[in-house]
Chains A and B, each alone.
Chain A
Amino acid sequence: MSATPSVSSPEAALAASGPWPVRLDDVSVRYPDGTVALRNVTLAVEPGEMVAVVGLSGSGKSTLVRTVNGLVPATSGRVQVGPHDVGALRGRRLRELRGGVGMIFQAFNLADRASVYQNVLVGRFAHTPTWRTLLGLAGHDDREIVLAALDSVGMLEKVWGRAGALSGGQKQRVAIARALSQRPRVMLADEPVASLDPPTAHSVMADLARINAEQGLTVLVNLHLMDLARQYTTRMIGLRAGELVYDGPAASADDAVFEEIYGRPLQVRDRLGSAG
């Protein structure tokens, strides 16, 4: 990584250098216990696209997004993220790729007993030598980036509070700030609103859509609710039992498409409902 330029404004602190495309070429994932989570998935996401990955639980959505940052290695096939061939990366180069790919999780994955500040500073790991982290030394630029990231999700005043003391929606915002402080080129979201109540879910989805629009980030978001996919994303990938069964515009995906993806008739719980 080149030297971090000095930071003059909050917007500049978070400016990414340009989104990355994501390409999966005939990717399969078989877990050590024999479960096949992905079967020959081929997929190309253009830089700056916001894509929903839709499917029931167990359909392979989580596995799909985790192949993008190498948390789950592809058993066969090729994953290309920006300039990186994910399967070939180890150690430092793998961490460099991950530094360019932000991720948020269904369970937020915050260290509850650490402060909000410390949790967001995690986003600077890939740009910080290990010895500096071990000694608890954060650079001035890192601090500015963390504060700007918290400000951009409206959580700046909680910066010194404990992460565990926040509500679910606030936790997910802190997790988004953590991902933003990486200054990522790609944002992955694994069921980001499944643990939230409907109004909070809508506001977190709106945050993601805003990040996609303002910063031009490539966004892959896993969802199991059809209305959220239609409302917030432009393109939709459907997964069923590890196979890609739909790839097309989200807006024009009708109920028949969702029944095909789910492999069963639609039910009430497939929709979140509107805010409020």
Chain B
Amino acid sequence: MSVLAAPPRPRTWPRTVAVLVVLALITAATVTPAIGGIRIDLGTIARHWHFGWTKVQQMFDPDLSILPRTWKPLLETLEIAVVGAAASALLALPLSLWAARPTNPTWGRSAVRAVLNAVRAVPDLVYATVLVAMVGVGALPGVLTLVLFDLGVVVKLVSEAIDSADARYLEAGLAAGGTQAQANRMMAVPQTWPAYASQVLYSLELNVRISSVLGLVGAGGIGRLIDEVRGFYRYGALGVIIVEILVVVVLIEVASNVLRKRLR
């Protein structure tokens, strides 16, 4: 057996330790009120946990009388989610191609990306609040909110998938005398389809969850009912609604997973 003369292993631990110390210091600073950090008083949990506990107990004592009133808003929530995902899917396909380098080598790509970064920077409840003020209470502001939210998610993920995939086929399209639009339509769309369809399904899953709370600010769906029963301290009814939403979310995720497997 020979002893191999391997080069010395580079020392990485001082760097790791330094990074961890910095992270720990930043975290400590954020919870130190004296220097502008937030006040986190874990003692309140110990002092007040029984208040929360009675509410949880009430939730586990279901008030089924709310059930008949939940069907319509629950259906509305689902409809908002589906319409929002479908409308954003239509817009997301061309936008994803315009936001990726292989499918759009011009400066226009940066413009599309900048707009979408701005769209993504706004939280969904802020969109809903503003849109309710602009177009009125109901399902429409909910749908618009989800379209904006989904565009941000789907276009980002799909355009990054295009960026990271091997796009040599596009060179053949251009070499044959095609325009970028022709090559995108005939070659990039089929190549990108699985990533695109998968992200659209994911946006549908997110939508069902988000549209459940959009009603809190008047944007339609079951959220309005949640706000109402909470206002009347009907925790038994709230528990029933939460279970219903849970069932719907799980069903949508199962369906979406089954569909996604068929994309491979």
Within 8 A of A (CB), among B188-206: 188, 190-191, 193-194
Q: Is A111 an interface residue (CB 8 A)?
A: yes
Residue in A closest to B193 when the chains form the complex, CB atoms? A113
How many chain B residues touch A (CB < 8 A): the figure is: 22
Pair B186/A113 contact, Cβ less than 8 Å: no
A17 to B76, CA, bound (A): 63
A95 to B178, CA, bound (A): 6
From A110, A125, A130, give the contact of B176 (CB < 8 A).
A125
How many chain A residues touch B (CB < 8 A): the figure is: 35
A105 to B168, CA, bound (A): 9
From A107, A114, A179, give the contact of B191 (CB < 8 A).
A114
Pair A113/B191 contact, Cβ less than 8 Å: yes
Residue in B closest to A123 when the chains form the complex, CB atoms? B176
Q: Is A96 an interface residue (CB 8 A)?
A: yes
Least Cβ–Cβ distance between B7 and chain A, in angstroms:
28
> How many pairs of A and B residues are in contact by the CB < 8 Å rule?
90
Pair B191/A122 contact, Cβ less than 8 Å: no
Which of A95, A96, A136, A179: most chain B Cβ within 10 A?
A95
Chain B residues with Cβ below 8 Å from A122 are: 172-173, 176, 178, 183, 186-187
Within 8 A of B (CB), among A100-141: 100-103, 105, 107, 109-114, 118-119, 121-123, 125-126, 128, 130, 133-134, 136
Within 8 A of A (CB), among B131-189: 168-169, 171-179, 181-183, 185-188
Against B, the Cβ 8 Å flags (1 = close, 0 = not) of A146-185 are 0000000000000000000000000000010011001000
Chain B residues with Cβ below 8 Å from A111 are: 169, 186-188, 190-191
A255 to B210, CA, bound (A): 72
With contact pairs A109-B169, A109-B171, A111-B169 given, residues A95 and B187 touching in the complex (Cβ less than 8 Å):
no
Pair A125/B181 contact, Cβ less than 8 Å: no
Q: Is A235 an interface residue (CB 8 A)?
A: no
Pair A182/B186 contact, Cβ less than 8 Å: no
Chain B residues with Cβ below 8 Å from A71 are: 171, 174-175
Chain B residues with Cβ below 8 Å from A136 are: 185
Chain A residues with Cβ below 8 Å from B168 are: 105, 107, 109
A179 to B168, CA, bound (A): 15
Q: Is A215 an interface residue (CB 8 A)?
A: no
A133 to B179, CA, bound (A): 10
Least Cβ–Cβ distance between B34 and chain A, in angstroms:
53
Pair B176/A126 contact, Cβ less than 8 Å: yes
Which of A96, A100, A125: most chain B Cβ within 10 A?
A125
Pair B174/A133 contact, Cβ less than 8 Å: no
Least Cβ–Cβ distance between B106 and chain A, in angstroms:
13
Pair B172/A130 contact, Cβ less than 8 Å: no
Chain B residues with Cβ below 8 Å from A119 are: 187
Least Cβ–Cβ distance between A138 and chain B, in angstroms:
10
From A103, A133, A134, give the contact of B175 (CB < 8 A).
A103
Q: Is A73 an interface residue (CB 8 A)?
A: no
Q: Is A60 an interface residue (CB 8 A)?
A: no
With contact pairs A113-B191, A182-B177 given, residues A105 and B182 touching in the complex (Cβ less than 8 Å):
no
Least Cβ–Cβ distance between A106 and chain B, in angstroms:
9
Residue in B closest to A106 when the chains form the complex, CB atoms? B168
Pair B172/A175 contact, Cβ less than 8 Å: yes
Chain B residues with Cβ below 8 Å from A67 are: none
- The chain A residues found within 8 Å of chain B, CB to CB, are 69, 71, 95-103, 105, 107, 109-114, 118-119, 121-123, 125-126, 128, 130, 133-134, 136, 175, 178-179, 182
- A/B interface sample: 20 pairs, CB < 8 A: A71-B175, A95-B177, A98-B175, A98-B176, A99-B176, A107-B168, A109-B169, A110-B172, A111-B186, A111-B188, A113-B190, A113-B191, A114-B186, A122-B172, A122-B187, A123-B176, A125-B176, A134-B185, A178-B176, A179-B176
Known: A95-B177, A125-B179. 10 other contacts (CB 8 A): A71-B171, A95-B178, A95-B179, A103-B175, A103-B176, A110-B169, A113-B190, A113-B194, A125-B183, A182-B177
